[in-house]
Amino acid sequence: MTVETVVVDHPLVLDSLAVIRDVKTPNALFRQNLERIGTLLIAEATQTLPTVSGTVETPLTTATTERLAVQPVIVPILRAGLGFLRPAQELLPDADIGFIGIARNEETHQPEPYVNKLPDNIASRPVIVVDPMLATGGSLIHTLQLLIERGASQPLTVIVALAAPEGIAALEASGIDVTLFTAVIDERLNDSAYIVPGLGDAGDRQFGAPA
């Protein structure tokens, strides 16, 4: 098994999940609750980041400390992954950010890349890929392969709000070592490769449908 799946069923995550599933939720409230989910998932996913010991001088005495040993690289998959970028930067303000843009062909359901902007120094650094939804897994697997080609170490950390069983199965079949953090594993994909019950198109619900 190359995929370790962690379902983060924190009450605050579940509360925001109910909001973003609701078809009546407006874009601004959708973004707010998606970011709330992102904050909680990222906090959970970064519990094992390596630290180094040190000391600081407080107003009273010397205190022992722990600081991050190395800053991770955050990679949102455009455009929906931007919904997790702000919480990632708030929790990890010194992290480097890479961008992978992948559109889904609505006829073939296959990924079509259009942006590839990654930091040069990703080898030997924790890499965290963020995208609200894991549907077929095509876009995510393509992104992970690009990262591995650039020297990223496995296992790679992936954070999504919703995952479909088919997407998890595709990840497992890819042979890539992944630790997947999600708020929920939904029922299935429909014939259009949308997650059911899902929440619709995460990009459109954050930013509006493109003209």
Q: Which residues are catalytic?
A: 104, 108, 201, 204
Q: Is the peptide bond before 79 cis (omega within 30 degrees of 0)?
A: yes
Among 123, 74, 72, 61, which Cα is nearest to 100's?
74
- Beta-strand pair 188-189/195-196: antiparallel
Give the largest Cα separation in the chain, rounded. Answer: 66
Q: Can you point out the beta strands (E) in the chain?
A: 3-7, 51-57, 62-68, 73-78, 96-97, 99-104, 111-117, 127-130, 133-134, 156-163, 178-185, 188-189, 195-196
In order, the DSSP letters of 146-180 are: HHHHTTPPSSEEEEEEEE-HHHHHHHHHHT--EEE
End-to-end CA, the chain = 42
